[in-house]
């Protein structure tokens, strides 16, 4: 068998619905991406819905090596990036007789109707 061969590795990703994130499924062997694509749904999503499927040739994926995974470590000193660092505002707003606009409140605005 040549260095390409019939058994090439593909990684399969799928989306459950139009709004869900792409999720990793599993890997399969196929001679090319067209065949990989027609294998994907029935091999890994026989019992669940799929709104989209991606197949990616494994050799095209650059992953972290075990050593490089050490680059993922970071200190726990970054409160300033998150709401955690601004929690004191709640008490302050209370002083002005206002509610704090927290994550729950702000993300609820998307569904707000005019005049709410």
Q: How far does Cα 96 stand from its chain's mean position?
A: 39
Cβ atoms of residues 89 and 100 within 8 Å: yes
Residue 97: strand pairing partners: none
Cβ atoms of residues 22 and 15 within 8 Å: yes
**3-state class (DSSP) for residue 52:** strand
> Does 56 sit near other proteins (CB under 8 A)?
no
As a whole number of angstroms, the distance between CA 107 and CA 116 comes to 15
Q: Binding mask 63-102 vs other proteins (x if CB under 8 A, - otherwise)?
A: x-xxx--x--x-----------------------------
Applying CB under 8 A, among 13, 27, 54, 100 the residue interacting with other proteins is: 27
Q: What letter would DSSP give residue 47?
A: T
- Mark the segment that binds other proteins (CB under 8 A) among 4-12, 15-23, 85-93, 99-107: 4-12
- Mark the segment that binds other proteins (CB under 8 A) among 14-22, 41-49, 81-89, 106-114: 41-49
Q: Which parts of this chain interact with other proteins (CB under 8 A)? A: 1-2, 4-7, 26-35, 37-39, 41-43, 46-47, 63, 65-67, 70, 73
């Amino acid at each position: 068998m040549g260095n390409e061969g019939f058994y090439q590795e593909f990684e399969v990703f799928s989306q459950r619905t139009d709004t869900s994130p792409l999720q990793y499924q599993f890997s399969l062997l196929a001679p090319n991406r067209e065949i990989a694509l027609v294998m994907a749904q029935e091999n890994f999503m026989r019992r669940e819905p799929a709104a989209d499927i991606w197949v990616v040739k494994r050799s095209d994926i650059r992953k972290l090596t075990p050593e490089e995974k050490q680059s993922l470590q970071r200190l726990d000193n970054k409160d300033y990036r998150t709401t955690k660092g601004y929690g004191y505002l709640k008490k302050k707003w209370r002083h002005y007789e206002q509610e704090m606009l927290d994550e729950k409140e702000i993300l609820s605005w998307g569904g707000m109707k005019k005049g709410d």
